[in-house]
Structures are given as structure tokens and as C-alpha cells.
Structure 1
Amino acid sequence: MSTPPEGLPIYRVVTGPDDATFCRRVSELLTLGYQLHEGPSVTFDGASVIVAQAVLWPTR
């Protein structure tokens, strides 16, 4: 498939608390065919750990 399914963009950044829901969201994108772009960014907002993970649709 040369483009992401369902009209999704080729570049996505997934953010959220570092929990099972976040991991499932990233896992679903990987299952669709996205690839991780670099490692995640992690910060602490004073209450919980927040994660950001960029994913790219392979163009070749």
C-alpha cells in the first residue's frame, strides 16, 4: 500500500500518558504499517509521565 489507510496522514505524533492505552495506540499504528521515527520523547508534568512518539508511513 503506497498511502496510509483511511486517509490518515503519512506523519503522526501520538502523545499521552505513559500507560497501556498509549502503547495500544502506537501498536495499532505499527500494525497498520507505520514505522517508528526515532525514539520517544518523555516528560513529567508534575503528576504523570507523558510520552510522544512520532511515526511515519513508509514511502518506498
Structure 2
Amino acid sequence: MKLYRFLTGPDDASFCHKVTAALNKDWELSGAPTYAFNAATGLMQCGQAVVKEVEGKDYDPDMKLSEQ
């Protein structure tokens, strides 16, 4: 099964750590990162899609993707 996640966060080191943690759990980058202004918070936000192939499991909408 192929899994998809979209990671988001403020434009700071915490976002980079979030993406780094996913990469170290065998997730792969998918597409270009995004960068946008959040008018509600007044901060820049980052986003990055990641995908991962998992063998021997079936998709379940209740699964926690971050734990895969």
C-alpha cells in the first residue's frame, strides 16, 4: 500500500525537524514544498507532501499515518 501525508508547519526549525523525522522513517518527498502567508497568524507556513510504500498491510482510514 502507498501512504500519503502532507506535513505543514511554521517557517522555522520545527518544520525542518518534522520533515527530517519523516525522511528518517523511510518517507520520501513528493513534489515541491509550498510556502504561504497565514493571514490569521501573521506567519509564513511551509508544506511538504511525503509518500511511503508499506508492504503487507492494507489501508485503514483509522490508521495513524505518522506511526507507519
TM-score normalised by length of structure 1: 0.75
Q: Give the length in aligned residue pairs.
A: 53
Match of 1:54 in 2: 49
In structure 2, distance between residues paired with 1:24 and 1:30 = 10
Which aligned segments of 4 or more residues in structure 1 are displaced greater than 4 angstroms?
A: none
Unaligned runs of 5+ in 2: 55-68
Query: What is the identity percentage for the equivalent residue pairs of Structure 1 and Structure 2?
Result: 35
RMSD: 2.2
**How do residues 26-41 of structure 1 correspond to structure 2 at under 5 angstroms?**
26-41=19-34
Scaled by the length of structure 2, what TM-score is found?
0.67
* Of 5, 14, 18, the match for 2:7: 14
